[in-house]
Chain A
């Protein structure tokens, strides 16, 4: 079913107003959503317009309407769409990128998982940051787990796995050195507690944080590797699925589903959704964020 936009007026900054409300942009937004599950709300439509603008310049296209034709009717439309998706998702990586996700993890999911797994002999939680890029998300998770280590997670072993296709990203992740841009959401509390100063512009993650995370190179499309990633409690895969076509995407998601323990959770990027790619996951809401849940055996919802 197609859901049309309601009449709420877009809240745009005045100088961008005329650009972003070009009727083509909501159309492009719908196309992007259909293909990738990424949704740019009205108040973020100008970001989509900016991305289109940069692509239009490079592709030598003058009007948004012409660009729409290129995205839908030209022979290289798939490639162009891929470029546009790249354009609108770059720069989304930083530490503490999504506070609602972190809150959901610490305030709701961890207590739930711990209550459920406390009867097991090994008290162990495994979290996977799939498509971890340069490690920001993995370390954010590690620091938050350390914050809980004296209370909720006392006596528990935490393993965080960060994987990425790109060798260089993995090496950067291992080094754990970040500048202002990556640290823009990191509070002084975390900076003081979990980083050491490299120079006046850069901070490095402390060894006790690094100890929690194992980084490795991995292609999510490699079935043989995916089969060995079992036993996860939570998987984060933010802004990665856009790089896959429909069939591989659905295959990867099915792998994630089977790699999760019963009762485990799967997070996407904040504007991303699974749409109908996997009907076994339950869409669940937490305050300010959504996730996908693999029902626990005891919930009777499988």
Chain B
């Protein structure tokens, strides 16, 4: 990256971010069911009826959930016909993640995006999926928690678009032009990143501590105090997504050495299974899911097809 005076984050910056996030009135017209659902998720024992009741309050969300539940991402022989049916066949925690996906998608006004919303959602959903796929290989990992963490990790970009759009627009432009990771340009030009702005919103929404931790530290895993393995998982999945066609829509000019990343060691310490994971095969398998993610994003967010990003893996084979 070209040298430029790095702006450092100060206590004043943090206070300003908090203040501006607090004052937004238009912010997230989140569906009414979203926050109660997050609260429900935090408990180990969740009442099926309670979830069904919540979701049924919002018919738009309910309909969208059924469409998502029927998508290839959740590969079911018989697509569910009712929310209750979906809960029965997919399992409660999985349905919750579907509901969260839909809620979050409805939360943000479409006009204010600096980042292409389709690109953003591909990345967020892609990361959610990769988090879950990796945790499926790790005995004892909470897959649905991993999914939620992956889905929410970049909440800060939404805040940037809504509250700091004037400052964020040139950041985005420079990142695209020079192929530098977004958080580095944010830090260098704004003095803060989407991690801080995301944290402010996460705290305003009173999200679970571990999710706040992921949002705040997914670019600096070693700084996280709590839930470090989850933060590490999201960090690695984020990198992998950005290398396999589910990034921010531009070519990032750098190499990624996942196994030499400190996050890999942190995750391995918690889950020894990671040692035996065949990362190349995992990467190849991931490409199969990229198209599914693209379809899903169009399904939820009703897009016209956006071309694959320049970093997409080519079609392998002949």
For the complex of A and B, the 7 pairs showing the least CB-CB separation, nearest first, are A287-B311, A1-B276, A44-B317, A273-B280, A285-B243, A7-B75, A285-B256
Contact of A283 with B310 at beta-carbon distance under 8 Å, contacts A7-B75, A270-B316 already known: no
From residue B151, how far is it (CB to closest CB) to chain A in Å? 18
Contact B247 A8 (CB under 8 A): no
Residues on B with C-beta less than 8 A from A271 are 284, 316-317
Contacts of B316 in A (CB 8 A): 40-41, 44, 270-271
Q: Are B281 and A273 in contact (CB under 8 A)?
A: yes
User: Is B133 a contact partner of A6 (Cβ separation < 8 A)?
Assistant: yes
CB proximity to A under 8 Å, residues B271-285? 273, 276-285
Of B14-22, B52-60, B257-265, the stretch lying at the interface with chain A is B257-265
Asked whether A99 and B288 contact (CB < 8 A) given A3-B282, A6-B133, A286-B243, the answer is no
Q: Does A116 reach chain B (CB closer than 8 Å)? A: no
Report, as a range, how many residues of chain B touch the other chain: 35 or more
Partner of A287, one of B136, B259, B291, B310: B310
Neighbour of A282 across the interface among B179, B260, B285, B310, CB < 8 A: B260
Which residues of A sit under 8 angstroms from B247, Cβ to Cβ?
Answer: 287
CB of B256 within 8 A of CB of A3, answer no
**How far, in angstroms, from A271 to B239 measured CA to CA in the complex?**
20
Assess whether A47 is in contact with B256, with CB atoms less than 8 Å apart. Answer: no
The total number of A-B Cβ pairs within 8 Å is 129
Give Cα A39 to B169, complex, Å. Answer: 41
Q: What is the distance, in angstroms, from A302's C-beta to the closest C-beta of chain B?
A: 11
The proximity string for A residues 31-52 relative to B, scoring 1 for CB distances below 8 Å and 0 otherwise, is 0010001011111100100000
Task: Provide the residues of chain B in CB contact with A273, threshold 8 Å.
Answer: 280-281, 284
Q: Which residue in chain B gives the minimum CB-CB distance to A273?
A: B280
Contact partners of B291 in chain A: CB under 8 A: 11, 43
The CA-CA distance from A37 to B281 in the complex, in Å, is 9
Contact B314 A288, beta carbon cutoff 8 Å = yes
A225 proximal to B (CB < 8 A): no
Q: How many chain A residues have a CB neighbour from B under 8 Å? A: 48
**Known contacts A8-B75, A99-B314; A287/B281 CB under 8 A:** no
Cα distance, A42 to B282, chains bound together (Å):
13
Instruction: Tell me, in angstroms, the Cα distance from A285 to B278 when the chains sit together.
Output: 14
Known: A6-B289, A8-B292, A271-B316. A288 touches B255 (CB 8 A): no
* Chain B residues, CB < 8 A from A288: 243-245, 311-314
Q: With CB as the reference atom, state the residue of chain A lying closest to B310.
A: A287
Which residue of chain B has its CB nearest to the CB of A271?
Answer: B316
Cα-based distance from A9 to B72 in the complex (angstroms): 6
User: Given that A8-B292, A92-B318 are known contacts, is A3 also in contact with B284, CB under 8 Å in the complex?
Assistant: no
Residue of B nearest to A100 (CB): B314
Contacts of A275 in B (CB 8 A): 278, 280
Whole-angstrom distance between the alpha carbons of A289 and B283 in the complex? Answer: 10
Query: What's the Cα separation between A130 and B115 when bound, in Å?
Result: 42
- The residues of B that contact A112 with a CB separation of less than 8 Å are 255
Of A6, A40, A112, A271, most B-chain CB atoms within 10 Å: A6
Distance in angstroms between the alpha carbons of A99 and B252 in the assembled complex: 15
In the complex, chain A residues whose CB is within 8 Å of the CB of B137 = 3
Q: List 23 A-B contacts (CB under 8 A).
A: A1-B277, A8-B75, A9-B75, A33-B281, A39-B280, A41-B316, A43-B315, A47-B318, A92-B318, A99-B314, A108-B255, A274-B280, A282-B259, A283-B257, A283-B258, A283-B280, A284-B255, A284-B256, A284-B257, A288-B313, A289-B313, A290-B280, A293-B255
